[in-house]
Amino acid sequence: MGRCTFRNLGLLQVIKGRCKIPVFVLIRPRGGDFRYSDLEIQVMRQDIQIFKAHKADGFVIGALSSTAIINFPRQLIVKYSTVRCMSIFLAAFDMCQDPFIAMETIICLGFERILTSGQESSVLEGAPLIRSLVEKAHNRIIIMPGGGINDRNLERILKETNAEEFHCSARSSKNSEMQYQKSSVYMGGVLRAPEFITKSTDAGMVQRMKEMLDKR
């Protein structure tokens, strides 16, 4: 607890001006897989440089080869090492062929943390692998579980994974406060993210989770 991640520069500035927790920026030029073209890597380099200049405390980043092996491009490493701030290897890790080999590579690359759901759809599903990674890491890198963690499963997850830190959005759904909601704009039988519901961090959930951590 005590870190936050996203990728909007205006938001970084507003947050840095209002609170003191370290802020990590997500460097991911598009959705989909983690195999990037040269131009996409150039965009990632620029983003690192800009966010660094605006006092980001670290980055969440990852890249793979087409055979799902960690492939952190040389030009990113250079840029990246000059940046010299804490960093997290992204969920790209969960797509890797061999997670133990991948972890060794990531340690060599100098990352401080690996963000992972244990190569499954949620941390609870991936808990056995996460526990093995924590053991094999032997304090050389922090294994940080993330994906589907909430205040109902946190205690089990900490116990089953032996992890010391974790990542979660602690969000709950809120209905929009719009009193006039036009329904015609998205008629039809398709499934969309609902326009008039947003998810935002739930202070009560954060509080309950903090207490679980403190109790340990």
What is the smallest separation between the CB atom of 125 and a copy of itself, expressed in angstroms?
6
14 binds a copy of itself (CB under 8 A): yes
Considering beta carbons, is residue 46 or 207 the nearer one to a copy of itself?
46
| Best CA proximity match to 69, nearest among 40, 100, 25, 45 | 100
97 binds a copy of itself (CB under 8 A): yes
| Best CA proximity match to 87, nearest among 98, 76, 95, 96 | 76
Q: List the one residue from 21, 22, 33, 140 that touches a copy of itself (CB under 8 A).
A: 33
Q: Parallel, antiparallel, or unpaired for β 197-201 and 171-175?
A: antiparallel
Residues near a copy of itself (CB under 8 A), total? 71
What is the smallest separation between the CB atom of 148 and a copy of itself, expressed in angstroms?
5
94 binds a copy of itself (CB under 8 A): yes
Give the integer Cα–Cα distance in Å for 150 and 170. Answer: 6
Q: What is the 3-state secondary structure (H, E, C) of 56-94?
A: CCEEEECCECCCCCECCCHHHHHHHHHHCCEEEECHHHH
Considering beta carbons, is residue 82 or 140 the nearer one to a copy of itself?
82
Write out the binding residues for a copy of itself, residues 175-214 only, by CB under 8 A: 176-199
81 binds a copy of itself (CB under 8 A): no
Please choose, out of 4-12, 55-63, 72-80, 136-144, the segment that lies near a copy of itself by the rule CB under 8 A: 4-12
Q: Which two three-digit tokens encode residue 20?
A: 């003191």
What angle in degrees, to the nearest 10, is found between the helix axes of 9-16 and 38-53? 20
Considering beta carbons, is residue 140 or 186 the nearer one to a copy of itself?
186
Residues 119-158, mask of contacts with a copy of itself (x by CB under 8 A): xxxx-xx--x-------------------x-x-xx--x--
- SS3 of residue 52 by DSSP: helix
Give the integer Cα–Cα distance in Å for 70 and 67. Answer: 9
Please choose, out of 9-17, 80-88, 103-111, 138-146, the segment that lies near a copy of itself by the rule CB under 8 A: 9-17
